[in-house]
Structure 1
Amino acid sequence: MKSFKSYLPKLSLWLLLLSGSLSSYAQELNARVVVNGERTEIQNEAIFNDMQRSFGQFLNDRKWTEEEYAENERIQCNIIINLRKSSRSGVGSYEADVQIQSIRPIYSTNYESIVFNFADKEWTFEYNQSQPLNFNENNFSSNISSLLAFYAYIIIGLDADTFEKGSGDPYYLKAQNIVNNATQTGYPGWEQFSNKQRNRYYLVEGLLNQQMSPVRDMYYDYHMKALDVFLTKQEEARQIIVDGLKNMRKVHDLRPNSVVTIAFLDAKAEEITQIFSQGPLPQRREVYNILSVIDPSNKDKYQSIIQ
């Protein structure tokens, strides 16, 4: 697979191969799962620890693709689950807000860039201690395994898109299949006909929609053509980001407030602000004007670009 290791100098690769460090392959994800049960009024801390362990093992021990990942290529990600008291009847019923975040290393630096930073506020599920988590991508097993698997494929797809344009498609299709299997279950967050445009259905629908391809392309251009060369080509890198933002502005005109555009900027708002804290003032004004339109919720943050 085209990944961060493909940029290592040939000599470094030879030394790694000689040492055998690339001789064994690992799963795709290295996920840190945190479960916070303070809002549930449940005093049994063991159940939350059990959830944390079980969910982490589900994400980290499963092989999600047919690609070969070396240990140092595993995608670093965080799943923060804030449980709240469930309105559903029955012991072991939960509602939760979930924050999903993934990161990508930047070539020739110690810097790690956030690729995905998404808040899912519509998760309800049932869980009993030591409950096994089964998953079949062609059938609905549980709302736990479906949600975790859905975001596993989204994370892998977005990471792939940062290395090669369009390479996330196979994983988004798998995520879409999970949505299709879950739609008729009655659990929120999967349905097309919802008042909420930031649910799982619209996220994967947008990623696979041709109208949104300039945003998909931006994942590649922003990381490979801008961040990965930023140390040596700052002016060129900034202009690539500006061009990408212009294309995102056109997408916004067609599909305002798309969850795909919002997801990209939720991950990149702070970073873009830092990148354009320097550079020619006309360019910074152009960036500010675009971002103020496509991401008005962060307008105050972007104000520092032109100060």
Structure 2
Amino acid sequence: MKKLFFFLLFSAFGYQAVGQELNFTVTINAERSRIQNTDVFNQMKTSFEQFLNGRSWTNDEFRPEERIKGNLLITINDVPQVGSYNATVQVQVLRPIYGTNYESLIFNFADRNWNFQYLDSQPLEFNRFTYLNNITSLLAFYAHIALGIDYDSFESRGGNPYFEIANDIVNNAQQSGRPGWGQSTTDRRNRYWLINDIYTSSVFDKVRDAYYLYHRQGMDVLLVNEEQAYSNMLEAIRILAEANTTQPNGIFVISFMDAKGDEIAQVLQNASFELKSEAVELLLEVDPNNARKYNELLES
């Protein structure tokens, strides 16, 4: 389905297959580090981007315009010793919407606890079956999360192969004892709970269906069948509400709303009052912190 979508979207362009699937921009904010020589952070940025964008993560062929866009926003919070860093990471993934120039934010996640060691010009290697270091494990984990979310948005549960690898990365990294990889009872916004909710927990299975309904059968068809598009998007919101009722504050539901909340409030403005009313009622259950934004839908 994903290949068919891009064939239709880009058939006017000449074909040039490439192996790389990702097109991520890495931004490093090192203001808190108090390090005067910023060369290491420039090298770090280049190295991380090359790791993400310069290799093949799948067996599929991607044209340059098909590559999955994303942002990795790294904030260095502390440098306890030379070459050792404590950081937070914001991961964002974008997706084109059929027939438009619009890029939709489909994943938005804040990873609050990442510590790693990095030396100038350090080679970055990755092995799916072995934990090598905390840099490549984290970067590869989010590379596969990005692939899985993107594929899910084009084909129902199309991201399974990539979520399986992300789950393997978490299992291997647990041996390191580093924060973010374990079954923490105090911090559910970490890598373990993210892949647990996405891939291994049956409670949130249908949230993946919501990704497909909202994007491929909703946003992608708005221009050709607005009524059906809104109906499918509403069904996606119903799925989220059901999952949230079963297990409140699941990180997968939260990350969906972190990515889609603003967009939903904008896109549904042109829907019928009846559909907006039902959507707002559900959204207030799932994302009560943004009640004002959703209630304004009923005033538009």
Describe the SS at the equivalent of 1:68: coil
Question: TM-score by structure 1 length?
Answer: 0.93
Once the two structures are superposed, the pairs formed by residues 146-185 of structure 1 within 5 Å of their partners are: 146-185=137-176
Per the TM alignment, residue 296 of structure 1 is displaced from its structure 2 partner at its CA by 1.7
Q: Residue 304 in 1 paired to residue 299 in 2?
A: no
> What percentage of residue pairs aligned between the two structures are identical?
43
Structure 1 stretches lacking a partner, 5+ long: none
Report the counterpart of residue 40 of structure 1 in structure 2: 33
- Give, in whole Å, the separation in 1 of the partners of 2:16 and 2:122: 34
Per the TM alignment, residue 303 of structure 1 is displaced from its structure 2 partner at its CA by 2.2
Return 150-159 or 226-235, whichever deviates more. 226-235
Residue type matched to 1:103 in 2? Answer: L
Report the counterpart of residue 272 of structure 1 in structure 2: 264
Report the counterpart of residue 193 of structure 2 in structure 1: 202
- Which of the residues 205, 219, 227 maps onto 1:235? 227
- Give, in whole Å, the separation in 1 of the partners of 2:142 and 2:193: 13
Per the TM alignment, residue 117 of structure 1 is displaced from its structure 2 partner at its CA by 1.0
Report the counterpart of residue 59 of structure 1 in structure 2: 52
- Which of the residues 285, 288, 291 maps onto 2:280? 288
- Give, in whole Å, the separation in 2 of the partners of 1:112 and 1:271: 11
Residue type matched to 2:244 in 1? Answer: H
Residue type matched to 2:24 in 1? Answer: A
Per the TM alignment, residue 237 of structure 1 is displaced from its structure 2 partner at its CA by 1.1
Q: Residue 128 in 1 paired to residue 129 in 2?
A: no
Describe the SS at the equivalent of 1:26: coil
Describe the SS at the equivalent of 1:162: helix
Q: Residue 76 in 1 paired to residue 69 in 2?
A: yes
Question: TM-score by structure 2 length?
Answer: 0.95
Per the TM alignment, residue 195 of structure 1 is displaced from its structure 2 partner at its CA by 0.8
1:26–1:74 contact (8 Å) kept in structure 2: no
Per the TM alignment, residue 297 of structure 1 is displaced from its structure 2 partner at its CA by 2.2
Q: Deviations over 1:232-278 (max 9, x none)?
A: 32222111111221122111111111111111111100000001223
2:213–2:235 contact (8 Å) kept in structure 1: no
Per the TM alignment, residue 184 of structure 1 is displaced from its structure 2 partner at its CA by 2.2
- Give, in whole Å, the separation in 2 of the partners of 1:37 and 1:167: 37
Residue type matched to 1:240 in 2? Answer: N
Per the TM alignment, residue 6 of structure 1 is displaced from its structure 2 partner at its CA by 3.2
Return 231-240 or 156-165, whichever deviates more. 231-240
- Give, in whole Å, the separation in 1 of the partners of 2:83 and 2:185: 26
- Give, in whole Å, the separation in 1 of the partners of 2:271 and 2:23: 36
- Give, in whole Å, the separation in 1 of the partners of 2:16 and 2:103: 25
- Give, in whole Å, the separation in 1 of the partners of 2:271 and 2:55: 45
Per the TM alignment, residue 118 of structure 1 is displaced from its structure 2 partner at its CA by 1.0
Report the counterpart of residue 255 of structure 1 in structure 2: 247
Per the TM alignment, residue 65 of structure 1 is displaced from its structure 2 partner at its CA by 1.2
2:153–2:215 contact (8 Å) kept in structure 1: yes
Describe the SS at the equivalent of 1:202: helix
- Give, in whole Å, the separation in 1 of the partners of 2:31 and 2:16: 44
Residue type matched to 1:204 in 2? Answer: I
Structure 2 stretches lacking a partner, 5+ long: none
Paired residue total: 297
Once the two structures are superposed, the pairs formed by residues 77-96 of structure 1 within 5 Å of their partners are: 77-86=70-79, 88=80, 90-96=81-87
